Amino acid sequence: MSAEKYTQEQILSGIWIVCSEVPELDLTFDFNISFDFDARLSEYFTPSFSSGSLGDWIGSAMGEEDAFTEFAHVLAWFFGFTCSVEEWNNYFGLNATSREEWEREHAPHFTFRRLVKFIQERAKPIPLEPITMLGKPCLTAGIFRGLEHLARQIDPKATRFGPSTPIRRCLRGVWLRLFWHRLRWMFQDQLPPPRQITLSSRGFLHSLLFKFSVGLLIAIWSGDLSGVLAGIGTTFALFIPLGVIVAYINNRLNPLPKEIETFGDLSRVLAAIIQDQQSEAASCSTP
């Protein structure tokens, strides 16, 4: 893997992980549209982009600008780069003076390929190339060096470690999960997703609406509306601590597979993945 720049395939893999696995965004996809470089973002997210306008997404229930801000913030956090709001505004065309101008000037180019290039120019790559030891190239040692860079990039306060150091001794909670997520997209989703409990706000709202409808029918039948209001209040009161508990449990869960405990274990697994990819590429290029 080149240390100069991440490939577009790596970045696209990361965008897929963000969009499909980050519960805070609570995005809905149209899976009838292929997830590729030339697919338009405005066609892929539904119903927020149902009319093909970014403004409809920004003006969703999340607020006038909160939807865009949250999406941009998560992407920058996930890929490990900093970016000004003005840069995002220029990229997404949010400086357009009207919806018609945005549709005319920006909508046709609002594709995953353009988003990938935007991230690719800003994400700082981690070296994962062989280093020379005793006169011979060693891929595992090169990957271990890359893991050192990645750990410090995620948590500058992470303690120094060696190949035999347990990973969870240096990285815990949200830092460990971010560490694992970045490795997943860097290796194009060749690593398993972390274990987690998914709590969707959309699912909660659907459940609340269902309870409200059933409760309203019962209340109309019995002539007592106080029970409906009490039920809704109780549901909201329980949802907030439930979200806190789920977030705490997810941060405590070990995202690593059972066979990976130390940085040395991880280095060997990643080296095997790279060697398999290189062997596959070589076999495909052989006439």
The pLDDT profile of the chain, 287 residues, written as one tens digit per residue, is 545 789 999 999 998 888 777 655 555 555 555 677 887 776 665 444 334 444 444 433 233 445 566 778 888 989 999 888 788 878 777 777 776 777 777 777 778 888 899 999 999 999 889 998 888 999 999 999 999 999 999 999 888 999 999 998 999 888 998 999 999 999 988 898 876 655 555 555 555 555 556 555 655 565 655 555 655 566 556 555 655 565 555 556 667 888 999 999 999 999 999 998 887 766 655 55
pTM, two decimals, is 0.70
Helical residues (DSSP H) of the chain, grouped into ranges: 8-21, 41-44, 54-58, 66-79, 85-92, 99-105, 112-120, 139-154, 167-170, 173-186, 201-222, 226-252, 263-285
**Alpha carbons 109 and 106: distance in angstroms, whole number:** 6
Angle of helix 112-120 relative to helix 85-92, nearest 10 degrees?
150
CA–CA distance from 273 to each of 1, 72, 242 (Å)?
12, 30, 38
**Alpha carbons 18 and 191: distance in angstroms, whole number:** 15
**Alpha carbons 191 and 194: distance in angstroms, whole number:** 9
